[in-house]
């Protein structure tokens, strides 16, 4: 048996509630226009974000009310648990396995938490073995779809034949704040949605793709670019206006360094699979990576249909790229709090 780690299967899931962009814009105007002087200027983001709709953990009316930690985390536990089961069950079935075959679970999420972690709470329902290893990861934000995938791949590589389940779940909409009269909060109402994705990885033969390399880059003195501020009301978004120019300036050197550590160059990549943080960020990434404008078409398609779901979004893009035909070599890239960049290269399965 080869020690090469393979992506065996991939599945995605979304909550039942759908919010169309015009509905989000109308609700935001109703809730903020009379209280935030610059609202009408910022409201243009609803038209320029490139988003038609997104899925949400709660119906639109829920966001008209003030919610504290208890409401938010109760909703998180309920909906994130359901999405975990749906995405993980689908990924396991697509791998022609059962839950009792899973040896390790890596779960990433930065939009809510439970203790015990979701994997423990759902172990009996899923049918996991009692000796399963659990690796819940919090705080990687948008980058976690790639970073968590890389962690799962390294665990699979260290134990050839072991089945590693990777689950990414984010309920970004639960962080919506009525009391935050700030530019980042208004922009967030136009961008973020909820979703989950799950992958099965195992060292062996076959699968959808071969995991070739992984790597990360942490940028010094960039803590203010993206993250959460946490207070009695819940999470409050930190989102700097400088992100698109930062990505355009810094992404290529970081990815170049990651690839070089694995004996690769930018020219070796046939298709970049990027986390679609927003339209401006995608344009900045295309510029940074010397791609023709519009190249990241699947990214724009996912953004339009689902919004920015944070960590699972890049896996929704990967699903579309695989469906369209994975090229000889692709690189998944995501940027997130830290500020950081993560990269995983994939080879087409033989």
Write out the catalytic residue numbers. Answer: 142
Q: List, in order, residues 6 or more apart from 126 with CB less than 8 Å away.
A: 85, 88, 89, 99
Q: 323 near 132, Cβ under 8 Å?
A: no
Q: Which of 153, 114, 103 is nearest to 136 (CA)?
A: 114
In this structure, what DSSP letter does residue 40 have? H
Q: 195-221: b or e for each residue (b if 16 or more CB lie within 10 Å)?
A: bbbbbbbbbbeebbbbbbbbbbbeeee
Q: List, in order, residues 6 or more apart from 196 with CB less than 8 Å away.
A: 12, 13, 14, 80, 83, 84, 86, 87, 167, 168, 169, 170, 312
User: Helix H segments across the chain?
Assistant: 21-32, 39-42, 45-48, 69-94, 118-121, 123-126, 144-158, 183-191, 243-261, 279-288, 297-306, 313-324
Residue 338: which region, alpha, beta or left (left: phi > 0; alpha: psi -120 to 50)?
Answer: left
Q: List, in order, residues 6 or more apart from 135 with CB less than 8 Å away.
A: 104, 105, 106, 107, 151, 155
Phi, psi of 218 (to 5 degrees): -105, 120
Residues 320, 201, 331, 344, CA torsion sign: positive
Give the separation between CA 343 and CA 72, rounded to whole angstroms. Answer: 32
């Amino acid at each position: 048996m080869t020690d090469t780690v393979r992506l065996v299967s991939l599945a995605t899931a979304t909550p039942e509630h759908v919010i169309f962009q015009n509905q989000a814009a109308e609700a935001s105007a109703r809730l903020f226009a009379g209280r935030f002087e610059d609202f009408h200027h910022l409201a243009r983001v609803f038209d320029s974000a490139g988003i038609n709709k997104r899925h949400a953990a709660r119906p639109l009316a829920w966001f008209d009310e003030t919610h504290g930690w208890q409401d938010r985390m109760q909703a998180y536990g309920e909906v994130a648990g359901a999405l975990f089961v749906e995405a993980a069950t689908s990924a396991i079935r697509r791998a022609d396995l059962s839950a009792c075959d899973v040896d390790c679970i890596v779960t990433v999420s930065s939009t809510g938490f439970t203790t015990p972690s979701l994997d423990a709470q759902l172990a009996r329902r899923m049918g996991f073995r009692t000796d399963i290893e659990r690796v819940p990861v919090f705080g990687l934000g948008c980058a976690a779809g790639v970073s968590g995938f890389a962690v799962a791949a390294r665990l699979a590589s260290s134990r050839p034949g072991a089945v590693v389940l990777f689950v990414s779940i984010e309920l970004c909409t639960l962080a919506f704040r009525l009391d935050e009269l700030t530019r980042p909060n208004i922009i967030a109402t136009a961008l973020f949605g909820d979703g989950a994705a799950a992958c099965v990885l195992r060292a062996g033969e076959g699968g959808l793709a071969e995991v070739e390399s992984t790597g990360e880059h942490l940028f010094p003195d960039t803590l203010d670019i993206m993250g959460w501020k946490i207070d009695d009301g819940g999470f409050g978004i930190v989102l700097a206006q400088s992100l698109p120019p930062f990505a355009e300036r810094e992404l290529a050197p970081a990815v170049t360094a990651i690839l070089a550590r694995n004996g690769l160059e930018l020219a070796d990549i046939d298709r970049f699979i990027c986390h679609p943080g927003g339209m401006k960020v995608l344009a900045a990434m295309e510029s940074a990576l010397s791609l023709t404008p519009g190249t990241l078409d699947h990214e724009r398609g996912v953004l339009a249909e689902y919004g920015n779901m944070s960590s699972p979004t890049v896996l929704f893009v990967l699903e579309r790229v695989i469906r369209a035909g994975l090229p000889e070599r692709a690189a998944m890239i995501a940027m997130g709090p830290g500020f950081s960049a993560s990269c995983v290269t994939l080879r087409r399965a033989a």
